[in-house]
A and B are shown apart, each in its own frame.
Chain A
Amino acid sequence: MAEGSIAGVAAGLAAEDRIAVASNWKLVWWRFKRHHLALFCAGLLIALYMIVLCPDFFSTQNPETTDARQAFIPVQSVHLFDDGKFSPWVPAIVGKRHPVTLRMEWQADPSRKVPVRFFTPGPVYQVFGLFESRLHLIGPADPTQRIFLLGSDRLGRDQWSRIMHGTQTSMTVGLVAVALSVILGVVLGGLSGYLGGKTDQVIQRVIELLQSVPTIPIWLALSAALPRDWTPIQVFFAITVILSLVGWTTLGREVRGRFLALREEDFVLAARLAGCSRMRIILRHMVPTFLSHIIATSSLAIPVMIINETSLSFLGLGIRPPAISWGVLLQEAQNIQTLALAPWLLIPGVVVIVAVLAFNLVGDGLRDAADPYSG
């Protein structure tokens, strides 16, 4: 009889009191805490979403600033200490034309140090469109200089700053698309599972239809249908909606299954016999029971959305320049020549991998923690 469940048989013991009065969310948190890797990844995701809130603060310069003379500058790594003292600097970059190819070749020169400062004033930007600020997390001590923490692209734009802005777009697309999917999935899946009968049949057939359509062509078709003259913001929202229209089906199925299973639970019958209304049974008894599962499933769905957005944009069908997303950034790394010349342009791909892995690990941790009553 549920031996070894985390709470077990407990009443009346002082040490057990903490567990006894712990709500479900507390139990979930306690279990999640034991997953050290998931906990670390959750921290990472929080950091990423801080960037989403205000990418300019983390950037060193305007991501759109171009300078053909500063194209393909390699990574300038930050050194924190100078002669044993805390005094951060980056090596200066010196360029030389290759005598044969006449191409500019950049070399880091550690003997010439460009001092950098944390929380330093830099280019002006808007915070939430409300007020202006000049404060940046990191920047050159001399605001007239440019530093390239992750190198620059073919137009001499700073990749570090562009990744910060790309993070905002890509992570938001993932989150918003999943939020829309969850709404669609919970409402339609819930209706399907709770009402049953004809409604259920219709919704299930629609889900089957949506799932049987190959996704890449449907995205191609839908995004090709987007008017060319839409602003990047409009395209951005259109892409999110397109992603969620396909994405809700899995969640809808899951919610329906939960509803069907929960309908048979004794405590739901008990609520019915107590005289609870249908609405109360759904909102008070059924939804809270599978909410933790929905959250876990959603956190596993976000990386899928991010990958989808990245692939679409990479193919030039999703978010289009001048908007910046991880996919748009990776577009820069499309040809082999650039790759050989400027391998640092692949760094956005590393960011995608890290973000997707973090979401997956957090999702796994949440899924394991979601049901504190099992085993």
Chain B
Amino acid sequence: MTEPTSPVPLPPVPLLDVRGLQKFFPITKGFLQRVTGQVRAVDGVDFTIHEGETLGLVGESGCGKTTASRCILRAIDPTGGEIRYHTRAGDIVDLAALSPAELLPLRAEIQMIFQDPFGSLNPRMTLLDNVGEPLLVNGMGNRGERTDRVAELLRLVGLRPEFMHRFPHAFSGGQRQRIGIARALATNPRLVVADEPVSALDVSVQAQVLNLLLELQSRLKLTFLFVAHDLSVVRHISDRIAVMYVGQLVELAPTDAIFRHPRHPYTAALMRAVPVADPRVRTIDGILGGEVPSPAAPPSGCYFHPRCRHAEARCMQETPELREITPGHFARCHFAELWPERDAA
């Protein structure tokens, strides 16, 4: 007996489907805390992440990438939008709408790796307690089983299990980052949000941690949301890249496509701004003038138009939508089809 199957393979349900995510922070004034405005830190962000893939989220400081990732973790509560998550049990839930109590069982499935290897571990607890805490509070195993699991996790991230009775102060930045990764993996998560996990590390350590993340991903079938500002790092680790500017996505595409054919002038400028480690290739031309506008008072029309070399009258009035330019390649520009040929001109 065979099970009835659908004639065409259905597209897989994404692990995470973010729709219209918004997070506004009120601006208050005076003694009575009157609300006088809104900082639109994240303003209508849509993206999906499929199981086993890495989505890189890049942008400059203040673009809302960290706020967006914290909303997905429900470290902060989003103002609007849906965060549809496909649970291990097979249900689809909206993380944005869950109460803290309903969220609790899902905490084990979505974990985070922090930027600062010095602030993210409790200095008063040993590695055993730091790494084992998610197991303890989620009621996974007794003390003996937890100790075994911590030893296994430390081995997994390339540290000696004997270290588990030490305190975090005994470790270097790179080693602490490994400890942080071990803690994030303790509960066997499916989605790991990594917030600038290598930007505080030295060059040689950065490579070690990137390699570890890639290895862990293929071994444990992990899904990463990789938030970073460094384009070369994001390019190295991501399957697809989303670029944010002033609280919005301006471009979303597979890594190869976005680097070969950026469809948004901001993405192109960002790439040209990266100092390439080759003196024969002159990159930084400093051609992108101006500065990132404040999300409390964004410009009219296209948010990028005051800095865009190709801005036209239409860009100042009409706000462009995020459109699919080629299959899987989205961009928020009225002239996305003309890029990058237009930039070369």
Which A residues contact B (CB, under 8 angstroms)? 1-2, 5-7, 9-11, 16, 19-24, 27, 265-267, 269-277, 280, 284-285, 288-289, 372-373
Contacts and interface: CB of A to CB of B under 8 A. Distances in A.
A267 B167 contact: no
A277 B100 CA distance: 10
Contact of B166 (A21, A266, A273, A372): A21
Given A11-B172, A269-B112, 5 more contacts: A24-B124, A24-B167, A267-B119, A275-B107, A289-B123
Contacts of A271: 122, 133
B137 A280 contact: yes
B138 interface: yes
B213 interface: no
Nearest to A287: B124
* 7 pairs of A and B residues whose beta carbons are closest in the complex: A20-B170, A274-B134, A266-B120, A275-B107, A9-B172, A7-B169, A20-B166
Contact of B124 (A9, A276, A277, A289): A289
B116 A266 contact: yes
Contact of A11 (B114, B170, B187): B170
Contacts of A284: 125
B167 A266 contact: no
B234 to A, nearest CB: 21
Contacts of A280: 137
Contacts of A23: 124, 167
Given A1-B173, A7-B170, A21-B165, A273 B120 contact: no
Given A285-B122, A289-B124, A273 B75 contact: yes
Interface in B165-179: 165-167, 169-173, 175
A7 B118 CA distance: 13
Given A9-B172, A11-B175, A275-B107, A270 B167 contact: no
Residue picked from B104, B124, B163, B173, most chain A C-beta under 10 Å: B124
25 contacts: A1-B200, A1-B202, A7-B169, A19-B169, A21-B126, A21-B166, A23-B167, A27-B169, A265-B119, A267-B119, A267-B121, A269-B114, A270-B114, A270-B180, A273-B73, A274-B134, A274-B138, A274-B186, A275-B104, A275-B107, A284-B125, A289-B122, A289-B123, A372-B169, A373-B169
A285 B120 CA distance: 12
A270 B75 CA distance: 9
Most buried by A among B108, B116, B166: B166
Interface string B146-177: 00000000000000000101110111110100
Contacts of A288: 124
Contacts of B175: 11
B40 interface: no
Contacts, number: 98
Interface residues of B, number: 40
The winner among A10, A19, A266 for most chain B CB atoms within 10 A is: A266
> Is the contact region of chain B dominated by helix, strand, or loop, or is it mixed?
loop
A277 B138 CA distance: 10
A273 B111 contact: yes
Contact of B133 (A5, A9, A27, A276): A276
B137 A276 contact: yes
B36 to A, nearest CB: 19
Given A22-B167, A24-B123, A271-B122, A266 B134 contact: no
Max chain B C-beta neighbours (<10 A), residue from A21, A270, A373: A270
Nearest to A288: B124
A16 B170 contact: yes
Nearest to A25: B124
B263 interface: no
Contacts of B111: 273-274
Nearest to B135: A274
B137 A274 contact: yes
A21 B167 contact: yes
Contacts of A273: 73, 75, 107, 110-112
B138 to A, nearest CB: 6
A7 B172 CA distance: 10
B138 A272 contact: no
A277 B175 CA distance: 28
Most B CB atoms within 10 A — which of A1, A10, A24, A274?
A274
Given A265-B119, A267-B121, A274 B172 contact: no
Given A267-B121, A270-B183, A277 B170 contact: no
Nearest to B123: A373
A372 B110 CA distance: 33
Contacts of A269: 75, 112, 114
A271 B132 CA distance: 11
A20 B75 contact: no
Contacts of B180: 270
A19 B170 contact: yes
B166 A11 contact: yes
A274 B126 CA distance: 16
Contacts of A266: 114-116, 119-120
Contacts of B200: 1
A273 B124 CA distance: 19
B114 to A, nearest CB: 5
A5 B120 CA distance: 17
Nearest to A20: B170
